[in-house]
Structure 1
Amino acid sequence: MQVPPGFRRKGENRVCHLHKSLYGLKQASRSWFTTFSTSLINAGFVQSKADYSMFTYKRENFLTILLVYVDDIVITGNDPTIITILKQYLAHQFQIKDLGLLKYFLGIEVERSPTGIFLNLRKYSLEILSDTGMLACKPASTPIEVSHQLNPNTGELLADPSTYGRLVGRQLYLTVTRSDITYVVTLFSQFMSAPRDMHWQAALRVVRYLKNSTDLGILLSTHSSLKLHAYCDVDWASCPTTRCTTTRYCTFLGTSSLSWRTKKQTTVSRSSSEAQYRVMANAASEITWLQLLLSELDIPIHPAQLHCDNQASLHIANNPVFHERTKHVEIDYHFVREKINDGTLHTTFVPSNQQLGN
């Protein structure tokens, strides 16, 4: 912000004193969230400790949940009367616009049916196809070639790296509802600093794959159980440059997919068992957070099941006497044993052909 022309005299240095935070300033979003959350807390809502953007209001058998992202708000609950009162209260405190039944939220399409709630990014996928000029392209059956040889040093450097970064960034947002492209987008993100033509062609293959699968998403089933379970797997020493291991896990509430992640480990594991044990710790951390979130929604918490296809890592997690294999592993990864001992986590062997985290 600058002082208006003609207001400042020659040789004077003047500043503006703000009475409130203006839109676009660094502190504007924090000031807005503080004001909004304070008004909700004054109305009897409780801010979640697992997700600070979620607020809950409980009274007898009634539960109202409010989610906020900057100035976009989603409200749900089992009592329409309380929801109506909440909307009136917010309209009195702020200038709001009621858009009715939830159909879009941050680009995510929400479709309801007797089988559940379906979330997808079909419109966003079509926008990517249109912006890249590939609406008439030949679709691909897989997001990447099985035997790809992507590395940071092969191929010609792109003249304009920003186009590659913009495309990968848009694909990254697609992973909110598309776990099938999480691995390839994570792989492409490693070449952001110096993308080459082969990386660009690989990113365009994902766009061709999207044309063949724009309707894919996640289904939150109404017939799903409320038992939490997860699958975890590794691709040991898969990075040809650093020999770091790629870890993968996904979590489910019954049959409904909740979260997933693919990430390259920061350290080099000496064995596949060690690498698997590390990803078990990451999955256990995600399960612990989800259990806290579900408890705030008054959902009964059962011991979670963690499925793994590596027998040695399961023995490490359940047997504290494996000194030779675990003495070089960092202490924080051993909290998997603590979760097993206190009964919040059970580990189970699953054959590789049934490993959903693969």
Structure 2
Amino acid sequence: MYLTASRPDIMFAVCLCARYQANPKESHLQAVKRIFRYLKGKAALGLWYPKDVNFELHAYTDSDYGGCNLNRKSTSGGCQFLGPRLISWQCKKQTNVSVSTAEAEYIAASACCSHVLWCQNQLLDYGFNFLKTPIYIDNTVAIFITSNPVQHSKTKHIEIRYHFLRDNSEKGLIVLVQVSTENQLADLFTKAFDQGRFEHLVQAIGMINYEP
């Protein structure tokens, strides 16, 4: 778990295994051993923070829908960037069962918004004031819920505390921007992929191999 602070590529796998700490099975041990084998083979892989590049704050958010086979709860994922530099990332199973992909995505976007606001407040101490921070999401319905206050009757099943996403959007602190699923970098923190897609996402978030 401590290693995920510097290795976002294993964030989803570690968080998934951590759900079974209270009653682990043999299959969970095998999964943990696979993580260690991956780390041994990719010991030189790490985040790269270049200088003299774009310094704009932006974020990506995504969720799987009912990905947990035990209780069908979804997993929220998010990551925040300063230019091409990954500065924060999250992976967390949602507390409630979502009844639609839009609800799962909206809840994930709400969590991502909280981290964006925290980043904005921290950067204010250094003289950077980022308004209308783009949060990239691949679900159009979640964007419509944020931008259309008329749809209250259709969104009552979403808890009120998640509607602060709409409030911060109206204040001009964040703006939801649609991005294609292919370019959704937060996918790395919500689900498992084949080797090709996984390596593409790892490279896209700014991790490189330091081996000479």
With the shorter chain as reference, the TM-score category is: 0.7 to 0.9
Alignment correspondent of 2:182 = 353
User: Contact (CA 8 Å) 1:274, 1:325: kept in 2 or not?
Assistant: no
Alignment correspondent of 2:74 = 245
CA apart distance, 1:224:
2.8
Match of 2:105 among 261, 272, 276: 276
TM-score normalised by L of structure 1: 0.51
Question: What code does the residue aligned with 2:180 have?
Answer: P
Question: What code does the residue aligned with 2:175 have?
Answer: H
Alignment correspondent of 2:62 = 233
**How big is each residue's C-alpha offset from its partner over 1:11-64, in whole Å with a ceiling of 9 and x where there is no partner?**
xxxxxxxxxxxxxxxxxxxxxxxxxxxxxxxxxxxxxxxxxxxxxxxxxxxxxx
CA apart distance, 1:339:
1.3
Question: What code does the residue aligned with 1:182 have?
Answer: M
Question: What code does the residue aligned with 1:263 have?
Answer: K
Match of 1:287 among 84, 97, 116: 116
Task: Name which one, 1 or 2, has greater alpha-carbon Rg.
Answer: 1
2:73 counterpart SS class: coil
Alignment correspondent of 1:190 = 19
Q: Does 1:327 align with 2:156?
A: yes
**How big is each residue's C-alpha offset from its partner over 1:223-276, in whole Å with a ceiling of 9 and x where there is no partner?**
232211110111100101011001111110111001001110010001000010
Alignment correspondent of 2:166 = 337
1:183 counterpart SS class: helix
List structure 1 runs of 4+ shifted beyond 4 angstroms: none
Alignment correspondent of 2:36 = 207
Name the CA distance, whole Å, in 1 between partners of 2:153 and 2:11: 34
Name the CA distance, whole Å, in 2 between partners of 1:268 and 1:252: 29
Match of 2:88 among 247, 256, 259: 259
- Which protein has greater RCO, CA pairs closer than 8 Å, 6+ apart? 2
Name the CA distance, whole Å, in 2 between partners of 1:237 and 1:302: 33
CA apart distance, 1:221:
1.9
Instruction: State how 1:101-250 maps to structure 2 within 5 Å.
Output: 172-250=1-79
Question: What code does the residue aligned with 1:297 have?
Answer: Y
Name the CA distance, whole Å, in 2 between partners of 1:300 and 1:226: 12
Name the CA distance, whole Å, in 2 between partners of 1:321 and 1:287: 26
**How big is each residue's C-alpha offset from its partner over 1:269-317, in whole Å with a ceiling of 9 and x where there is no partner?**
0100001000111000000000000001222424210000001111001
User: Contact (CA 8 Å) 1:228, 1:251: kept in 2 or not?
Assistant: yes
Name the CA distance, whole Å, in 2 between partners of 1:344 and 1:226: 17
TM-score normalised by L of structure 2: 0.85
User: Contact (CA 8 Å) 1:233, 1:276: kept in 2 or not?
Assistant: yes
**Which shifted more, 244-253 or 217-226?**
217-226
**How big is the alpha-carbon RMSD for the aligned residues of Structure 1 and Structure 2?**
1.1
Question: How many residues were matched structurally?
Answer: 187
Question: What code does the residue aligned with 2:148 have?
Answer: N
What is the percentage of aligned positions where both structures have the same residue? 36
Flag structure 2 segments of 5+ consecutive residues without an equivalent: 188-212
User: Contact (CA 8 Å) 1:224, 1:253: kept in 2 or not?
Assistant: no
Name the CA distance, whole Å, in 1 between partners of 2:179 and 2:52: 24
**Greater fraction of residues in helix:** 2
User: Contact (CA 8 Å) 2:76, 2:91: kept in 1 or not?
Assistant: yes
**Which shifted more, 272-281 or 323-332?**
323-332
Name the CA distance, whole Å, in 1 between partners of 2:49 and 2:124: 18
CA apart distance, 1:341:
1.0
**How big is each residue's C-alpha offset from its partner over 1:68-122, in whole Å with a ceiling of 9 and x where there is no partner?**
xxxxxxxxxxxxxxxxxxxxxxxxxxxxxxxxxxxxxxxxxxxxxxxxxxxxxxx
User: Contact (CA 8 Å) 1:227, 1:302: kept in 2 or not?
Assistant: no
Match of 1:303 among 119, 132, 135: 132
**How big is each residue's C-alpha offset from its partner over 1:316-356, in whole Å with a ceiling of 9 and x where there is no partner?**
01111113431111111111111111111111000000000
Name the CA distance, whole Å, in 2 between partners of 1:302 and 1:324: 30
User: Contact (CA 8 Å) 2:60, 2:184: kept in 1 or not?
Assistant: yes
CA apart distance, 1:196:
1.4
